[in-house]
Structure 1
């Protein structure tokens, strides 16, 4: 709306440009960007300009009705992700108050209504029950709108202060934003991901993703249904629901990936052809792979992250028996020497291939996106090959005397998987394999993913024999162990699942 002369609104205050004062603008075009009346500069030093934010969890607040919310954040410029736990309704209101003082038009952005008893006003003015999920959705939309104003709205004299207030709320000050990989390929991937993040600011894509996420959440089993399905032998119905849900998400991820890759082909080509990314190692095939990686990563951030909680809940409970048995196997194998895994003496590493195990632990255990988990598997396998070369393993003749073939590689990889300390490995395989794009199931990536799955299958039947040797159980011996909710399983009973569902998070 037009502002009157002499208004104290921040958007009508005077700005300095080359020694001359002029009004910023007579309108604050929050939702309809347009060029300002005259050019001006805003210092965005210290501002994180590519933040992806999702509210991934909500819980009732003791002594209050507003709720507590867990946030997932990712910075596109550094590829860093982190979580903010327990932001309260009062903290959200205080953030909105601060932002509105800086830029009054932010008051136009939709924000959940105050709770009046157990009811609130919806967008149409009628009274309805204000549930926790509805509030979560409203607060998430508010955060995502404000964190992207630098792209979706006019720049404002207080843009820097607004971004800093948002960053304080998102605990950016507690993070270390350092680029760990400064190679051309990593820089290009980050640039493509940042570009893709801006593409998803288009209202048509935002609405499309929101509708799909809501549809998937409504189609997957509820907590009560999960409890009943867990009473069935082998939990077949729950596993079928898991497979169906993952396939639905995988298909949508692929469709969105194709839309961005094809629809924005010229822009993506223009980014990759910049002089900064040119180098002898950056051939056409490699560039294409990097661009696809950047697009895919952001597509997963937009679609998978808001579905992660419910997908994890269904997957983890469907394969809880297998995961519990796997955990028992891994605990029994920890601390075993390399000889136990039948690794030939000339291939045993002085460092026990520790670097490869660390990549699995950090890249899989501490990451959210399926793409990152898959990349960690590939990187870990690559580290094994690098260690093999660096330490001169292979034979009496030293480096190169013996190549690292598939039969040699698998025992080493099994050793690394056990030492990584990963939790819920069976669920992990189901998740990554269920969401991976078809292109990643072939070539080097597909080979290493298949090798990881083979390693998990081997660990399922490995035990330490009476003489300390590696023994593989027969199928009937493996089945005698029972499972979760079954006699002899040693796991949680089905009647405890309702309490467990609320805390069944998935791998960090």
Structure 2
């Protein structure tokens, strides 16, 4: 829907500041639109203006939603007709991706849907859906709002299972159909921001949320941010940490809304389709394996670096053109104190913005390419992962003393389980590389804090400190053995491939400083396990410290 159509709405709500969509309001060219024009994405001034108007409309609705939890629609033809749309149960920032599809003998194509809710910092897989489920959803939504019928929707012929026609249709069109169904879901989810407001908008959103299994998601494993957080002082999560997390999610939600623009899709969709079209089939993988694992790894790293360059490209555009909006969000009253502290240390504010933007970019680019990336990593580092998996199984039954952890540094089982759960959930089960990195940092801080409560420990440079000294970094002599023990117990799949993924796709800012140090420690832990000779006796066992960081 064009922005002009939305001008018929008058969104009125009670707050200290009123946001209205006014018929004669003049919207200038947004800096993002101008930046996209310099990149050749937007060709004309009219396209820049249209993009700016759409973004303005989306942000107006977002601010109204956040301020009142509802929309109020007033008809331009009948001033007495006033409809209140309560949005308390509607989730404002759902990300949806169809990440897999396969053929079922009885019901045809089956689709795996990945969902991420920014507000909850939670990801889950929707209930398994067949093509007919999408058809039923569309049939239920169209009577509520006729604009749903205008969203492109794939059709599927009814052929006998196993017939040559059905097989050909499946092989050629299944990927394209999955993309169309994903596009349909994503368009429906963002209708509340982009289309003409309708009295049934909330009901429509609830139908979609039920389809995506939003209610069942709360019964699944805990959110990563529900696990105890550790501040720089080694204490549990404080109000300051909570507000910082909320601010980061607000920045990510703004980025999420930016990606609703058609101009952003015009950049991302061709890139994703291009990478997918170049993915090797099993035959090509076998040819590369015959040439040797080095050739396979080189090709994998080449494609990963191509993806990384595009992630950095998008991040650069947003940092260049939207920083004013990010600062505006942070300067709101609820974030004012934290923002003031962050601005004292510009690096902290920069890192927070980078992490918020990177998380959303990974959702937009990495998640739809995850199957391609995984295929490269699984085949390229298959033998290394098999070796590490075997050794981890052997090491999992060994006590802490086997890992050269001194008696006074050994943690109790409850404390260890806390760190193990952070690694198992945050690194092993989460999808986004940035979330995995954050979990590694969280686990490392937890070890430091737990050891600080037990007495002396060393900082990151190996100097001795105490629990009261304010030191937060352990020396490698104390930290690595405990960290390796926790990594072993976390039982993560394909740890070698995981190291390559994190090292290649992580934000450049996270390759230095505290995050970079603990990422290097994680790689060192995996490398040491891989090189460990389990045939040695405990006394002859090599130290856990010679692995270079």
Selected match of 1:308 from 361, 365, 370: 370
Task: Give a deviation string over 1:333-378, Cα, whole Å, max 9, x none.
Answer: 1122222222233322234633222211110112000000111111
Alpha-carbon RMSD across the aligned residues, in angstroms, is: 3.0
Selected match of 2:454 from 386, 391, 401: 391
Aligned residues of 1:213 and 1:303 also touching (Cα < 8 A): yes
- CA distance, structure 2, for counterparts of residue 397 and residue 103 of structure 1: 64
Offset, 1:466: 5.6
Aligned residues of 1:119 and 1:130 also touching (Cα < 8 A): no
Indicate how the Cα distance of structure 1 residues 128 and 433 shifts in structure 2: closer, same or farther if over 3 A, else same: closer
Indicate how the Cα distance of structure 1 residues 328 and 173 shifts in structure 2: closer, same or farther if over 3 A, else same: same
- CA distance, structure 2, for counterparts of residue 460 and residue 128 of structure 1: 41
- CA distance, structure 2, for counterparts of residue 464 and residue 119 of structure 1: 55
Q: Which residue is 2:287 aligned to?
A: 228
Indicate how the Cα distance of structure 1 residues 129 and 468 shifts in structure 2: closer, same or farther if over 3 A, else same: closer
- CA distance, structure 2, for counterparts of residue 438 and residue 168 of structure 1: 38
Aligned residues of 1:188 and 1:272 also touching (Cα < 8 A): yes
Structure 1 counterpart SS, 2:337:
coil
Selected match of 1:200 from 259, 266, 270: 259
TM-score (norm 2): 0.74
Q: Which residue is 2:273 aligned to?
A: 214
Aligned residues of 2:251 and 2:357 also touching (Cα < 8 A): yes
Indicate how the Cα distance of structure 1 residues 460 and 447 shifts in structure 2: closer, same or farther if over 3 A, else same: same
Q: Which residue is 2:141 aligned to?
A: 99
Offset, 1:64: 4.4
Are residues 1:357 and 2:427 paired? no
Offset, 1:103: 1.2
Q: Which residue is 1:81 aligned to?
A: 123
Indicate how the Cα distance of structure 1 residues 128 and 348 shifts in structure 2: closer, same or farther if over 3 A, else same: closer
Offset, 1:40: 3.6
- CA distance, structure 2, for counterparts of residue 367 and residue 336 of structure 1: 27
Structure 2 counterpart SS, 1:77:
coil
Structure 2 counterpart SS, 1:423:
coil
Structure 1 counterpart SS, 2:397:
coil
Runs of 5+ unmatched residues, structure 2:
2-12, 14-52, 59-72, 227-236, 459-463, 544-549
Offset, 1:409: 1.6
Offset, 1:101: 1.4
Q: Map 1:375-386 onto structure 2 (within 5 A).
A: 375-386=438-449
Task: Give a deviation string over 1:214-233, Cα, whole Å, max 9, x none.
Answer: 11112232222113323343
Q: Which residue is 1:115 aligned to?
A: 157
Q: Which residue is 1:425 aligned to?
A: 495
Q: Which residue is 1:341 aligned to?
A: 403
Are residues 1:191 and 2:191 paired? no
Q: Which residue is 1:322 aligned to?
A: 384
Q: Map 1:130-149 onto structure 2 (within 5 A).
A: 131-149=173-191
Aligned residues of 1:119 and 1:129 also touching (Cα < 8 A): no
Aligned residues of 1:371 and 1:436 also touching (Cα < 8 A): yes
TM-score (norm 1): 0.80
Q: Which residue is 1:24 aligned to?
A: none
- CA distance, structure 2, for counterparts of residue 397 and residue 409 of structure 1: 13
Aligned residues of 2:289 and 2:296 also touching (Cα < 8 A): yes
- CA distance, structure 2, for counterparts of residue 467 and residue 446 of structure 1: 33
- CA distance, structure 1, for counterparts of residue 268 and residue 126 of structure 2: 23
Indicate how the Cα distance of structure 1 residues 470 and 201 shifts in structure 2: closer, same or farther if over 3 A, else same: farther
Selected match of 1:272 from 330, 346, 358: 330
Task: Give a deviation string over 1:402-451, Cα, whole Å, max 9, x none.
Answer: 98322222222111211211121101001111101211111111111111
- CA distance, structure 2, for counterparts of residue 167 and residue 308 of structure 1: 24
Aligned residues of 1:69 and 1:85 also touching (Cα < 8 A): no
Aligned residues of 2:419 and 2:446 also touching (Cα < 8 A): yes
Task: Give a deviation string over 1:229-275, Cα, whole Å, max 9, x none.
Answer: 23343x22221111011101111111111111221111011001112
- CA distance, structure 2, for counterparts of residue 207 and residue 397 of structure 1: 54
Indicate how the Cα distance of structure 1 residues 265 and 467 shifts in structure 2: closer, same or farther if over 3 A, else same: closer
Selected match of 2:480 from 410, 434, 441: 410
- CA distance, structure 1, for counterparts of residue 269 and residue 353 of structure 2: 25
Are residues 1:59 and 2:122 paired? no
Indicate how the Cα distance of structure 1 residues 45 and 140 shifts in structure 2: closer, same or farther if over 3 A, else same: same
Aligned residues of 2:127 and 2:212 also touching (Cα < 8 A): no
Aligned residues of 1:464 and 1:470 also touching (Cα < 8 A): no
Aligned residues of 1:54 and 1:306 also touching (Cα < 8 A): yes
Aligned residues of 1:341 and 1:470 also touching (Cα < 8 A): no
Structure having the higher helix fraction is 2
Q: Which residue is 1:492 aligned to?
A: none
- CA distance, structure 2, for counterparts of residue 397 and residue 426 of structure 1: 33
Q: Map 1:429-508 onto structure 2 (within 5 A).
A: 429-465=499-535, 467-469=537-539, 471-472=541-542
Task: Give a deviation string over 1:143-165, Cα, whole Å, max 9, x none.
Answer: 00001101111111101110011
Are residues 1:237 and 2:283 paired? no
Q: Which residue is 1:488 aligned to?
A: none
Q: Map 1:3-42 onto structure 2 (within 5 A).
A: 37=76, 40-42=83-85
- CA distance, structure 1, for counterparts of residue 485 and residue 271 of structure 2: 40
- CA distance, structure 2, for counterparts of residue 347 and residue 337 of structure 1: 13
- CA distance, structure 1, for counterparts of residue 327 and residue 336 of structure 2: 13
- CA distance, structure 2, for counterparts of residue 64 and residue 464 of structure 1: 49
